[in-house]
Structure 1
């Protein structure tokens, strides 16, 4: 029987300088990490790590991030 732990995982594609440039461009255009991850077909956590490694500021303003945090908290409280 084949080991499912090795076949279930998607093969990793190497990170290229073009990917770095794309992250820089999209982040400067205001894209979120989730939008960049979707565009590059990568995990959102990897995009966040790469952005921090490259010293690229978040694509959203701190004010927008705070507002979205309040909205998400309100939604979670309403469901509870």
Structure 2
């Protein structure tokens, strides 16, 4: 006997379980010279931006290239 996947349950329009979809947060834009903070590497300064795909950051002790979506990276 073959089992099928259960169908997704549709909620009535007035249901309290209907929640609006939350749009994803926009990817932060960086420019050369911006000060940033990273959870692992600490404070740094953006040296270069590679077409919104990656940023090159100088953290003092080392320079790292961090790819988009820039997890754990915050502009100060």
Q: Classify the TM-score, shorter chain.
A: under 0.3
Structure 2 length as normaliser, TM-score? 0.24
More helix by share: 1
Structure with larger Rg: 2
Structure 1 length as normaliser, TM-score? 0.23
More strand by share: 2
